[in-house]
Amino acid sequence: ETGVTQTPRHLVMGMTNKKSLKCEQHLGHNAMYWYKQSAKKPLELMFVYNFKEQTENNSVPSRFSPECPNSSHLFLHLHTLQPEDSALYLCASSQDLGGRKQLSNYGYTFGSGTRLTVV
């Protein structure tokens, strides 16, 4: 396996269900991210993890709960979602040196995404 792997690719869930999205990166990166992509809207940064520690939570509702057990794995636990949460959820990773030592040419590597439909 190479790159960033996300499972499942597609998920349909009811509003009362509990499900989890999984992301695994094989790039040796130390930062991982969850993004939400809805139609006609920019990619929305949801959560950031650096060295397994959550460093950013962009006012995401509590029905989304992230977990990062190590620097290679990232989960997004979902419960009691709403139909408006239907979207493409993308995981990404990068090499983050921290502080002011940001490598200018390091973008993010994205996984293939999970297409989530809440019914």
Partner 1 sequence: QKEVEQNSGPLSVPEGAIASLNCTYSDRGSQSFFWYRQYSGKSPELIMFIYSNGDKEDGRFTAQLNKASQYVSLLIRDSQPSDSATYLCAVKGGGSTLGRLYFGRGTQLTVWP
Contacting residues toward partner 1, per CB under 8 A: 31, 40-43, 45, 48, 56, 90, 94, 96, 99-100, 102, 104-105, 107-113
- Cβ proximity to partner 1, 9 vs 18, nearer residue: 9
Report the candidate in 34, 117, 118, 18 with the shortest Cα–Cα distance to residue 73: 34
Closest contact distance (angstroms) between CB of 80 and partner 1 is: 26
What are 42-45's contacts with CB under 8 Å, separation 24+?
Answer: 43/90
- Cβ proximity to partner 1, 16 vs 104, nearer residue: 104
- Cβ proximity to partner 1, 102 vs 117, nearer residue: 102
Closest contact distance (angstroms) between CB of 105 and partner 1 is: 5
Closest contact distance (angstroms) between CB of 76 and partner 1 is: 15
- Cβ proximity to partner 1, 21 vs 31, nearer residue: 31
Please report, for residues 12, 13, 72, the alpha-carbon distance to residue 115 in angstroms, rounded to integers and kept in the order given.
Answer: 8, 11, 22
* Positive/negative CA dihedral, 62, 90, 34, 3: positive
